[in-house]
């Protein structure tokens, strides 16, 4: 287009040439403004040349000194306009009094007011015209850049203004829930009811959400409704981020999948949290892992006397220690210990030397495919770390031990799940042993053993969510094992808080189940994450899409769905998201004998005999 070519040419000029061009145009506008204003004045000829020369000199000098010509025309805003209008007013007043002093026959001051209005309006209109012209013809015409904004409030209006300045996206419609706004416009962009979005589907590149202060439940409903259109959805930052200057309103970003999968936030019952933690000495095994590290973050908030963190990975131990040091506003004692929870002597010394009150046992190998490929080490770690921690806990008469278990221990189809089921049986067996000791010796201090069983947590290492994020980031494809696979999800923070609260409810031998919310189809999760990333699904119906989803088949030991109960019913507790189950257990002496045989075969790397004993301990395990 010729006009576009002309604009590009002008913008390629050196800056002094562009300033000179604007200056020349401004002088011409001054000339025409004087002509228009004083055209009917009979004494016009006596002061016309004087006024034109002086107005041109003082105006251009003032514009230069005040930096008016330094502004980039396409980004000039209202503050610049107000400042410019004031400068013109001062110059005209000065020239009026100067002319009176020089005894020129000046017209009434009304003409000078009129002159100020005409001059200022023409110069500003010129800037606005140039700005809009540049923005209009600088857009990329080769791609569809039409977008819709959901939310016609203050945030939506500001977002529209920012997008107009950038010139990259063309807003063709607003959508809002408020019926009073329907049919009205914001800067010439019409506002429609949400149910009319489908009419724009073929014309829109994406939908931008401009509803930063809306309740999360309502936001989820809006997002789910928009996802039916299969259009990419982007969000603006939160009000808190904008007001604190952390980001700008047009810093568009993908919507975190956690906002859709996570439930409405229910604040932790602070009385239970304080009762569980305050003034206690806490040991957390596997403290550098996903759940272990979040337990550390939650525990430190409720003022324990001391936190002892045990972790086998040097890197993870360093990271969580540094993080805790930064958030430790109450200067709580933190002790970091590098080593394996399977090392009984280390665990026993740690508990004894630090007078531990409560142990949260989160250490485990939990990645199903890795444990399937390394069964000996997986079984040894998951089972005998639990034995070591339980034995050291009873030897030192601590108050409580809480095992972090998994839904994969229920009717397990993989070695990881079977090993975690054995860990549960060990905890139940030690609970029974403590009960017997208590009845024989009333002076014995009973250690309460319990376990908490829950499913997938968002953002944990190995989580399918993190895997999908990486695959989307690299351009795809997204790989999932089966399009019908179903999982439950909860946030790490909520899981950790419920684990801590459940410790208060323990009576010994308890199996606590966490309410995981509604099940999620993993295929739908993948589609959501693609759309929330501002991209589209590539399939036979949309060959120009961005990300393809491929099913690779179930992995060894993987189930289509997980469950939290084996064969028992659960009862509610005082916390609506914690339930208690009563399931069959094994006597301590039976477990002890089988574990002795298992340990012998594991140490001799006899896999077949090790798996046979594992099958005896967990009959419901479907051995592959």
Listing DSSP states for 428-471 in one string gives: HHHHHHHHHHHHH-TTSPPPEEEEEEE-EEET-TT-HHHHHHHH
What's the gap between Cα 452 and its chain centre?
26
Distance CA 264, CA 61 (A): 61
Hey, do 146-255 and 270-617 end up sharing a CATH topology, with the first three levels equal? yes
**If pLDDT is split at 50, 70 and 90, which confidence band does 137 have?**
low
Of the candidates 199, 232, 235, 231, which has an alpha carbon nearest to the alpha carbon of residue 219? 235
Residue 437 has pLDDT above 70, yes or no: no
Which two tokens mark 186?
């914001």
**Rounded to 5°, angle at Cα 303 from 401 and 395:** 25
As a whole-number percent, the residues of the chain with pLDDT over 90 amount to 26
Residues in CB range of 109: below 8 A, 6 or more apart: 96
**What values do phi and psi take at 291, rounded to 5?**
-75, -45
| Greater model confidence, 429 or 61 | 429
Q: pLDDT by residue (tens digit) across 565-624?
A: 555 677 788 788 888 887 778 888 899 999 999 999 999 999 999 999 999 999 988 766
Q: pLDDT by residue (tens digit) across 504-555?
A: 888 888 888 887 777 778 888 888 788 777 677 888 877 888 888 888 877 6
**What values do phi and psi take at 550, rounded to 5?**
-120, 135
Half-sphere exposure of 411 (CA within 13 A, CB side): 10
What is the pLDDT at residue 164? 72
| Greater model confidence, 306 or 59 | 306
**If pLDDT is split at 50, 70 and 90, which confidence band does 147 have?**
confident
What is the pLDDT at residue 316? 95
Residues in CB range of 466: below 8 A, 6 or more apart: 459, 460
- Can you name the residues that pair with 170 across neighbouring β-strands? 146
Residue 442 has pLDDT above 60, yes or no: no
What is the pLDDT at residue 462? 61
Give all strands of the β-sheet with 570-572 in edge-to-edge order. 333-338, 306-311, 281-285, 358-361, 400-406, 448-454, 510-514, 578-581, 570-572
Per-domain residue ranges for the chain?
2-138, 146-255, 270-617
Which two tokens mark 92?
């005209």
| Greater model confidence, 199 or 281 | 281
Question: What architecture is domain 146-255?
Answer: 3-Layer(aba) Sandwich (3.40)
- Can you name the residues that pair with 487 across neighbouring β-strands? 520
Residues in CB range of 623: below 8 A, 6 or more apart: 611, 614, 615
Residue 130 has pLDDT above 90, yes or no: no
Most confident of 5-14, 193-202, 316-325: 316-325
Distance CA 545, CA 475 (A): 11
Distance CA 48, CA 31 (A): 9
Which two tokens mark 364?
């485990």
Which two tokens mark 545?
């899409």
Of the candidates 210, 99, 217, which has an alpha carbon nearest to the alpha carbon of residue 155? 210
Residue 489 has pLDDT above 80, yes or no: no
First to last CA, the chain: 68
**Rounded to 5°, angle at Cα 90 from 84 and 93:** 140
Distance CA 592, CA 590 (A): 5
pTM over 0.95: no
With 0-12 / 13-18 / 19 or more C-beta atoms within 10 angstroms meaning exposed / middle / buried, residue 101 is exposed
Judge whether 434 and 450 are in contact, CB under 8 Å: no
Least confident of 30-44, 254-268, 332-346, 496-510: 254-268
Give the 3-state secondary structure of residue 404: strand
What is the pLDDT at residue 249? 46
Q: What is the DSSP letter of 484?
A: T
What is the pLDDT at residue 141? 45
Which helix (H) or strand (E) segment holds residue 609: the answer is helix 607-617
What's the gap between Cα 64 and its chain centre?
47
**If pLDDT is split at 50, 70 and 90, which confidence band does 119 have?**
confident
Pairing of strands 206-209, 146-150: parallel
Judge whether 257 and 283 are in contact, CB under 8 Å: no
Least confident of 264-273, 444-453, 476-485, 546-555: 264-273
Half-sphere exposure of 390 (CA within 13 A, CB side): 29
Distance CA 624, CA 618 (A): 14
The domain defined by 270-617 folds into: Rossmann fold (3.40.50)
Of the candidates 175, 155, 172, which has an alpha carbon nearest to the alpha carbon of residue 247? 155
| Greater model confidence, 14 or 280 | 280
Place of tokens 């013109």: 88
What is the pLDDT at residue 5? 53
Least confident of 38-52, 174-188, 527-541: 38-52
Q: pLDDT by residue (tens digit) across 388-433?
A: 999 999 999 999 999 999 888 888 889 999 999 999 999 999 998 8
Which two tokens mark 499?
């684990």
Of the candidates 558, 496, 522, which has an alpha carbon nearest to the alpha carbon of residue 371? 558
Distance CA 251, CA 241 (A): 11
Residues in CB range of 1: below 8 A, 6 or more apart: 137
What is the pLDDT at residue 124? 79
**Averaged pLDDT of the chain:** 81
What is the pLDDT at residue 554? 73
Query: Average pLDDT of 270-282?
Result: 87
Helix axes 290-301 and 492-505, enclosed angle (nearest 10): 60
Place of tokens 């477990």: 591
Distance CA 270, CA 263 (A): 19
Place of tokens 């416009």: 185
**If pLDDT is split at 50, 70 and 90, which confidence band does 140 have?**
very low
Judge whether 222 and 211 are in contact, CB under 8 Å: yes
Distance CA 434, CA 441 (A): 10
- Can you name the residues that pair with 550 across neighbouring β-strands? 479
**If pLDDT is split at 50, 70 and 90, which confidence band does 345 have?**
very high
Distance CA 115, CA 88 (A): 10
Which two tokens mark 598?
């298992």
Judge whether 392 and 340 are in contact, CB under 8 Å: no
Judge whether 331 and 306 are in contact, CB under 8 Å: no
What is the pLDDT at residue 142? 41
Distance CA 376, CA 393 (A): 25
């Amino acid at each position: 287009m010729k006009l576009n070519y002309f604009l590009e040419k002008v913008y390629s000029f050196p800056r002094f040439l562009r300033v000179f061009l604007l200056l020349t145009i401004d002088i011409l506008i001054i000339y025409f403004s004087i002509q228009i204003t004083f055209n009917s004045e009979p004494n016009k000829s006596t002061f016309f040349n004087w006024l034109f020369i002086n107005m041109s000199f003082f105006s251009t000098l003032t514009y230069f000194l005040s930096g008016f010509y330094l502004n980039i025309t396409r980004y000039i805003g209202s503050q610049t306009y107000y400042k410019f209008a004031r400068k013109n007013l001062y110059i005209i007043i000065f020239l009026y009094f100067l002319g009176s002093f020089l005894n020129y026959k000046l017209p009434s001051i009304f003409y000078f007011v009129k002159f100020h209005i005409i001059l200022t309006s023409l110069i500003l209109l010129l800037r606005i015209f140039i700005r809009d012209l540049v923005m209009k013809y600088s857009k990329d015409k080769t791609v569809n850049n039409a977008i819709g904004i959901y939310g016609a409030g203050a945030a939506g209006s500001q977002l529209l203004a920012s997008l107009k300045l950038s010139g990259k996206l063309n807003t063709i419609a607003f959508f809002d829930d408020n019926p009073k706004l329907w049919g009205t416009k914001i800067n010439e962009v019409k506002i429609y009811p949400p149910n009319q979005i489908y009419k724009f589907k073929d014309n829109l590149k994406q939908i931008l959400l401009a509803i930063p202060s809306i309740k999360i439940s309502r936001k989820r409903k809006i997002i789910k409704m928009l996802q039916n259109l299969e259009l990419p959805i982007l969000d603006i930052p939160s009000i808190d981020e904008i007001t604190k200057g952390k980001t700008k309103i047009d810093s568009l970003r993908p919507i975190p999948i956690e906002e859709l999968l996570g439930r409405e936030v229910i604040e932790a019952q602070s009385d239970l949290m304080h009762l569980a933690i305050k003034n206690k000495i806490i040991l957390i095994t596997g403290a550098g892992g996903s759940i272990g590290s979040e337990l550390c973050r939650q525990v430190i908030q409720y003022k324990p006397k001391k936190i002892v963190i045990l972790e086998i990975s040097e890197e993870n131990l360093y990271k969580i220690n540094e993080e805790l040091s930064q958030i430790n506003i109450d200067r709580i004692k933190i002790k970091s210990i590098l080593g394996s929870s399977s090392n009984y002597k280390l665990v026993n010394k740690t508990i004894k030397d630090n007078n531990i009150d409560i142990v949260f046992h989160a250490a485990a190998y939990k990645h199903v495919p890795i444990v399937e490929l390394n069964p000996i080490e997986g079984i040894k770690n998951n089972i005998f770390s639990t034995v070591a921690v339980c034995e050291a806990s009873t030897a030192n008469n601590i108050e409580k031990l809480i095992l972090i278990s998994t839904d994969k221990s229920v009717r397990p189809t993989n070695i990881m799940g079977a090993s975690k089921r054995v860990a549960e049986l060990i905890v139940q067996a030690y609970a029974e042993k403590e009960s017997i000791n208590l009845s024989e010796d009333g002076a014995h201090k009973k250690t309460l053993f319990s376990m908490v069983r829950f499913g997938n947590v968002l953002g944990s290492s190995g989580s399918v969510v993190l895997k999908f994020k990486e695959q989307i980031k690299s351009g795809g494809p997204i790989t999932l094992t089966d399009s019908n696979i179903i999982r439950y999800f909860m946030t790490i923070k909520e899981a950790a808080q419920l684990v801590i609260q459940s410790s208060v409810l323990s009576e010994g031998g308890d199996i606590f189940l966490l309410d995981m919310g509604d099940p999620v189809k993993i295929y739908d999760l993948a589609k959501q994450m693609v759309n929330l990333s501002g991209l589209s699904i590539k399939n036979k119906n949309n060959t120009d899409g961005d990300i393809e989803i491929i099913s690779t088949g179930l992995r060894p030991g993987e189930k289509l769905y997980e469950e939290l109960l084996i064969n028992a019913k659960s009862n509610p507790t005082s916390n609506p998201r914690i339930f208690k189950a009563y399931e069959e257990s094994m006597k301590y002496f039976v477990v002890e004998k089988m574990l002795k045989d298992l340990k012998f075969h594991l140490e001799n790397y006899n896999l077949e005999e090790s798996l046979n004993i594992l099958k005896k301990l967990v009959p419901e395990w479907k051995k592959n």
